[in-house]
Amino acid sequence: MAITASTIKELREKTGAGMMACKTALKETNGDFEAAVDYLRKKGLAAAEKKQSRTAAEGVVVNVAEAGKSVILEVNCETDFVAKGDDFKDFAHEMAKFALANNVPTTEALREQKADAANELTLKCGEKIDIRRMVFSSTENRLGFYNHGGKIGVVVEAKTSAAGEKLEELLKDVSMHVAAASPRFLASDDIDESFKEREAKIYTEQLKEQGKPEQMIPNIVQGKLKKLASEVCLLEQKFVKNPDLSVSAHIESVAKELGESIELVGFKSLVLGEGVEKKVDNLADEVAKMTGQQ
């Protein structure tokens, strides 16, 4: 079967593979278009597997939700260039929608069910694609959401019989606050002892470095620990849109206005690339290697 430029172009558009790879695939399959697609997929899947050891710290965080259910999903790639592409962004949203629609409970389950799709995108864009983290929520309570430019995804959960735009605005505002203030805990009772002990050690070392008298340090540390809740607990933090009020005071104010009780019972968030150690290339070393000086 004759191999034409238009056939090569069509194969390239369908698979995302390079022109020469498409030409080779058509030659190897005697011009059979669908066989050439399979040929490239087989080659591409092998290539994708080799890329899995690379560091993928760029990407996007997406939120999708419906009544009583939400998914926050982080999908990573290697470069900001690929992260901004429509293929990558569409893939991330499709993965999140799939997880939501099919009640996929864990990241591992989603990775397993969508491994072929991730490998195909790796083939197309030439970078490692990693379905890295997912937070799946299912509840009878009310949920609020916020996504900060694909970099931070937040969901908050409230127990209330209130409804309407005012409640939705409140939950979105609290979600925005979480993105801005990065609370560690919901309330002061949730702060674990190991966290307090770690902070106490840091405070103690700081005070020693500042030259504070040894006998004063324990009392100063206790004072700092009492203030800790206002720094790391969502309900105790100053509300970013009105620092005169704590988050809990703002919620109480809205609840009074609506005539219904509103209890914030939880929050979850994902920050893009959090915990991933990015590879930092040394340009001078790379040039030296290329020119044989190392």
> Residues 66, 59: contact at Cβ < 8 Å?
no
Domain-wise residue ranges, the chain:
5-53, 54-138
Question: For residue 198, what pLDDT is reported?
Answer: 87
What HEC string does 46-96 produce? HHHHHHHHCCCCEEEEEEEEECCEEEEEEEEECCHHHHCCHHHHHHHHHHH
Instruction: Indicate whether 285 pLDDT > 60.
Output: no
Report d(CA 69, CA 97) in Å as an integer: 11
Q: What's the token pair of residue 40?
A: 């490239």
Question: 222-245: per-residue pLDDT in tens?
Answer: 888 888 889 999 999 999 999 999
pTM above 0.85, yes or no: no
Q: At 17, is the pLDDT very low, low, confident or very high (cuts 50, 70, 90)?
A: low
> Residues 96, 126: contact at Cβ < 8 Å?
no
Between 156 and 46, whose confidence is greater? 156
Q: At 69, is the pLDDT very low, low, confident or very high (cuts 50, 70, 90)?
A: very high
5-53 and 54-138 in the same fold: no
Other C-beta atoms within 10 Å of 4: how many?
11
Taking residues 159-178, report their average pLDDT: 96
Q: Which CATH class is domain 5-53?
A: mainly alpha
Question: For residue 55, what pLDDT is reported?
Answer: 55
54-138 under CATH 3.40.50.2020, yes or no: no
**Percentage of the chain exceeding pLDDT 90:** 58
Q: At 40, is the pLDDT very low, low, confident or very high (cuts 50, 70, 90)?
A: confident
